[in-house]
Amino acid sequence: MKDGCSPQGQCGACTVLVDGAARVSCVTPARRVAGRQVTTLAGLDPLRRQAWAEAFCATGASQCGFCTPGIILRLEGLARRSPGAGPAGALAAHLCRCTGWQTILEAARLVTGESGAAAQPPRDYAAAARRAALEGGCPQAVGPHVACGEGGFADDTAPADALVAVPAPGGGWALGETPAEARRAAGSVEGRRSTLRAEAPLRVPPGDWDCTLRTCWSEPGYLELDASWCLPGGEPADPLANGGALGAKTRSAAAAAARRLADETGRAVRILYSRPDATRLGPKRPPVAGGANADGTGRLAVARTPGVVEAIAAVAPGLEVVEVDVAGPPTSADIRAAGALEALALLAGARGAAGPIRLPGGGEAAAQVAEKITVEVSCGRPLDEVVLRSYCIGAAHMAYSLVTSEAIATDADGTVVDLTVRSFGVVPAARTPPVEVTIVPSDAEPTNGSDSVFVAVAAATWLARGCLPVWPTDRRS
């Protein structure tokens, strides 16, 4: 069982079955389930658990795997209680940040027999893991065990007697014997969704532009919260776990803090962020505001972020980039295609055509967005088509969601005030267009393909929305 937002009850990671019905356990008091049967994924009938795990693996429905145990139990509860019901609506209670939903729906159809249980071709999981590492940017396991939540998450192996440390307001760490005690010591208040409107913080540089774009603060929203633990004198558990959140966790403070506090206290120390902690302190994509012309020239203002000017210059040399100091949460150029995506989308808008995208060191992708999202990707030997397709679908969803829906509000000081999972604006399964992926056969050396897909789908989505001048295009509150 996982914790992605407790006690918000909004991510679904902690879902269990209570007398066969799915319930989020973090908001279910123990007294309400007294005398009733509570089943976690580990307690599911082994053959049924294996069927779900193999189906998720066969369709690529589990990448990091943090969300998957809860989703499997939700779908199992649906299959038991409402066998004919479509699974997309049931997923509204969940957040999966990796997969883009479609492969999860395919896995559900495999298990319920709706799509016919075709024999699965043999897989080379080492090759699949290599493809996953290329796409995710850090080591990643692939196999049915990942769908069971066994991807190697730091907090799953923390010693039971470890001191718990949580971020304290104003910096530093608050300690306690339990998460509740540490959070009390920190004076933590459960985060809410604010009534403030999400705003694009930068202004478009003056000029006569064919096309302009401004973006808001948006939350990467990785599901496994920052966590680590360490024994005195030991090596801290890796907060990147199974995938690294596509760059968003690259500089997590959790591991260094676990090591330092363990050495200082002489005890095992477990670092644990809450969802509001990760939302306030975690890095965001640098917001931009820019104008461009059809000839590829233009000016782009971007929130000051080490490395972002270079990232933009590498893909859009005709854009003059101006870094701007802006009050707001931390930003990072490590986040998937940060700056490059926005620059290339702006140029596509100015040209009035998306065109193929090739990011430095990566493959090539082209995309069209209408009733469905169509993607073609060429990135060397696929190594494992299931994994590559899964990453391309996840990237397509992430791009579509970023352009149309994702934004968080900040107050006048730039402090993030939208602190709940539901306030991030991630497009749910029921509103995600189908994604069709064509993988171009190649014998070339494998390289990352899904980052180019991410950019290509963002540009195509924006063009399909008429290049409205502010992202997200569909959500202004």
Q: Which residues bind ligand FES (CB under 6 A)?
A: 3-6, 8-14, 24, 26, 62-68, 96-99, 223
Closer by beta carbon to ligand FES, 28 or else 473: 28
Closer by beta carbon to ligand FES, 26 or else 231: 26
Spatial separation of the C-alpha atoms in residues 105 and 87, rounded to whole Å: 7
The residues, any chain, with a CB within 8 Å of residue 277's CB and separated by 6 or more, are 166, 167, 188, 225, 226
Closer by beta carbon to ligand FES, 71 or else 345: 71
Contact 406, 218 (CB under 8 A): yes
Q: How far is the CB of 114 from ligand FES (least distance, A)?
A: 22
Q: How far is the CB of 466 from ligand FES (least distance, A)?
A: 31
Closer by beta carbon to ligand FES, 311 or else 387: 387
Q: How far is the CB of 397 from ligand FES (least distance, A)?
A: 11
**Residue 453 tokens, joined:** 């897909």
User: For strand 373-378 and strand 364-369, is the pairing parallel, antiparallel, or unpaired?
Assistant: antiparallel
Contacts 24+ apart (CB under 8 A), 266-269: 266/232, 267/161, 267/162, 267/163, 267/232, 268/158, 268/159, 268/161, 268/162, 268/163, 268/229, 268/230, 268/231, 268/232, 269/162, 269/163, 269/164, 269/165, 269/175, 269/229, 269/230
Closer by beta carbon to ligand FES, 43 or else 355: 43
Closer by beta carbon to ligand FES, 179 or else 291: 179
Closer by beta carbon to ligand FES, 24 or else 365: 24
Closer by beta carbon to ligand FES, 64 or else 335: 64
Q: How far is the CB of 137 from ligand FES (least distance, A)?
A: 14
Contact 112, 86 (CB under 8 A): no
Closer by beta carbon to ligand FES, 26 or else 141: 26
Other beta carbons within 10 angstroms of residue 337's beta carbon come to 27
Q: How far is the CB of 204 from ligand FES (least distance, A)?
A: 34
Q: How far is the CB of 65 from ligand FES (least distance, A)?
A: 5
Widest Cα–Cα separation across the chain:
70
Q: How far is the CB of 163 from ligand FES (least distance, A)?
A: 22
Q: How far is the CB of 275 from ligand FES (least distance, A)?
A: 8
Q: How far is the CB of 154 from ligand FES (least distance, A)?
A: 15
Q: How far is the CB of 373 from ligand FES (least distance, A)?
A: 19
Other beta carbons within 10 angstroms of residue 306's beta carbon come to 11
Q: How far is the CB of 260 from ligand FES (least distance, A)?
A: 28
| 386: phi then psi, degrees, rounded to nearest 5 | -65, -45
- What stretches of 114-268 adopt beta strand conformation (E)? 163-167, 173-176, 211-215, 227-230
The residues, any chain, with a CB within 8 Å of residue 395's CB and separated by 6 or more, are 100, 336, 450, 451, 453, 454, 457
Closer by beta carbon to ligand FES, 16 or else 268: 16
Spatial separation of the C-alpha atoms in residues 379 and 135, rounded to whole Å: 10
Other beta carbons within 10 angstroms of residue 10's beta carbon come to 22
The residues, any chain, with a CB within 8 Å of residue 193's CB and separated by 6 or more, are 418, 419, 420, 422, 423
Query: Which one-letter DSSP state was computed for residue 43?
Result: G
The residues, any chain, with a CB within 8 Å of residue 304's CB and separated by 6 or more, are 286, 323, 324, 325, 326, 331
Closer by beta carbon to ligand FES, 23 or else 130: 23
Spatial separation of the C-alpha atoms in residues 25 and 160, rounded to whole Å: 20
The residues, any chain, with a CB within 8 Å of residue 34's CB and separated by 6 or more, are none
Spatial separation of the C-alpha atoms in residues 188 and 167, rounded to whole Å: 9
Q: How far is the CB of 13 from ligand FES (least distance, A)?
A: 5
Closer by beta carbon to ligand FES, 8 or else 432: 8
Could you identify the residue written with the tokens 């090539």?
Answer: 364
